[in-house]
Amino acid sequence: MTLPEVIPAEALDSTDLLGLWPILSEDERVAAFRLLDRDEAYRFLRALSTRDEAKLLLSLPASELDSSVRLLAPDDAADVIQETQEELRPVLMGAMDENSRREVKALLAYAEDAAGGLMNPRYARLRPDMTVDEAVAYLRKQSRESVETIYSQFVIDEAQHLIGVVSFRDLFTAPRDAKVRDIMRTEVLSVRDDQDQESVSRLFAKHNLMAIPVVDAENRIKGVVTFDDIVDVVQEEATEDIHKFGGTESLDAPYMESALVPMLRKRAGWLAALFLGELLTATAMAFFEEEIARAVVLALFVPLIISSGGNSGSQASTLVIRAMALGEVKLRDWWRVMQRELLTGFLLGSMLGTIGFFRIVIWQFVRPIYGEHYLLVALTVFTSLIGVVMFGTLAGSLLPFLLRALRFDPASASAPFVATLVDVTGLVIYFSVASLLMAGTLL
């Protein structure tokens, strides 16, 4: 498919091209991008994903690289550089003007997931002694030169300290000769440049922000984080958490674009670790080998028992981890969560135990495979299920607290991790209950 079949080249704009992008070949992408005028190219690059931006820029002829790279805001340029292989970075850095290169280098010095790594170092700054009319005239000039955020204006003193904020609406509704000092809000929410992006995104959600200023330890303004960066952060953090839940390291690239070997490496690590944990089940089972030999019927319910513990544990850990990520549950709540989950585990375990009990008793009438002591077997399954589900719920809900207290990411208490932990304990609970209840009869 060539471009002209779809849309006349002279009418192509950034929105069309974004729609066509996924179905175009590399060459067609470059050709189509070069058809856009400066304004449309700017809009287009803003909307393109960082990965695609990096690929596109590096495919452009050298003569056009400079002008395209200069369309990028410094924070986007820094993201593109980070996405680029080490050896190709100088090409992109070389295409920037002196000023941008300095800004980008400063941004690259921040951790990728810190507020400083998200912020745009260009923003509209006002002086407190400007009048509203002067401020508007100044902003009118600024907005032509692509200062990204003209929606919040920060008021700073001579030493770059942040002293207030003025919104467009404030400027609009104030008398024209009022001073900025008199209409600015002085209670300004701001974040530190080394603050984690997840806590920044929580602040955005909590206060419905559009932009937040980033300051250093001395309250000097360094840049601004805007809502469009935050939508990406929220997606990214959710993806990371979801991948951890599934017991895999997060991929750095979209699934279909990840090369096989790095993906294998990320999955193999967790899988091997879980496998080593599960090897303990073989050890536990060997410990009860005699019991199994004497009452083979016990072996039949092993998968049922341990999976019930795993499932209830995975439920509990999922609920607690997500609640922690959203800030609904704090470290100090562990005691209340534990009480709650103990009761929940008891009730859920009793429910599953009852189902299991009747399954065995009823089955015995249909096909008597559980022998004369089938009631004892059913009772063992009933009791074990209560114990195993309670342990699963407890382990699943408390593990995230433990991980957080030890300063690990609570999301690592993934479903598979909890299941592995509960499997080994579940076996011990099951065979201990059996030994108690069946001593003298089956065992």
Q: Which of residues 424-443 bind its own copies (CB under 8 A)?
A: 427
Q: Does 348 bind its own copies (CB under 8 A)?
A: yes
CB of 406 vs its own copies, minimal distance in Å: 21
Binding mask 363-382 for its own copies (x = CB under 8 A): ------x-------------
DSSP characters over 259-289: -HHHHHHHHHHHHHHHHHHHHHHHHHHHHTH
Nearer to its own copies among residue 173 and residue 199 (C-beta): 173
CB of 81 vs its own copies, minimal distance in Å: 19
Cβ 214 vs Cβ 110: under 8 Å = no
Residues 121-180 binding its own copies (CB under 8 A) are 139-140, 143-144, 150-151, 168-169, 172-173
Q: How far apart are CA 379 and CA 331, in angstroms?
A: 38
Q: Does 400 bind its own copies (CB under 8 A)?
A: no
Backbone angles phi, psi at 157, to 5 degrees: -90, -175
Q: Does 9 bind its own copies (CB under 8 A)?
A: no
Q: How far apart are CA 291 and CA 284, in angstroms?
A: 12
Residue with tokens 């209560």: 386
Q: Which of 33, 42, 123, 301 binds its own copies (CB under 8 A)?
A: 301
| The residue count for the chain | 443
- The residue range among 15-23, 51-59, 80-88, 93-101 that interacts with its own copies, by the rule CB under 8 A, is 15-23
CB of 240 vs its own copies, minimal distance in Å: 10
How many other CB atoms sit within 10 Å of the CB of residue 313? 33
Q: Which of 164, 247, 387, 410 binds its own copies (CB under 8 A)?
A: 247
> In terms of DSSP bridges, do strands 162-167 and 152-156 run parallel, antiparallel, or are they unpaired?
antiparallel
First-to-last alpha carbon distance for the chain, in angstroms, is 74
- The residue range among 1-9, 26-34, 93-101, 314-322 that interacts with its own copies, by the rule CB under 8 A, is 314-322
CB of 290 vs its own copies, minimal distance in Å: 9
Q: How far apart are CA 301 and CA 291, in angstroms?
A: 14
Number of residues that bind its own copies (CB under 8 A): 112
Q: How far apart are CA 155 and CA 359, in angstroms?
A: 72
- The residue range among 63-71, 82-90, 93-101, 295-303 that interacts with its own copies, by the rule CB under 8 A, is 295-303
Nearer to its own copies among residue 111 and residue 272 (C-beta): 272
CB of 63 vs its own copies, minimal distance in Å: 28
Nearer to its own copies among residue 102 and residue 185 (C-beta): 185
Measure Cα distances from 401 to 58, 338, 376 in Å. 45, 10, 38
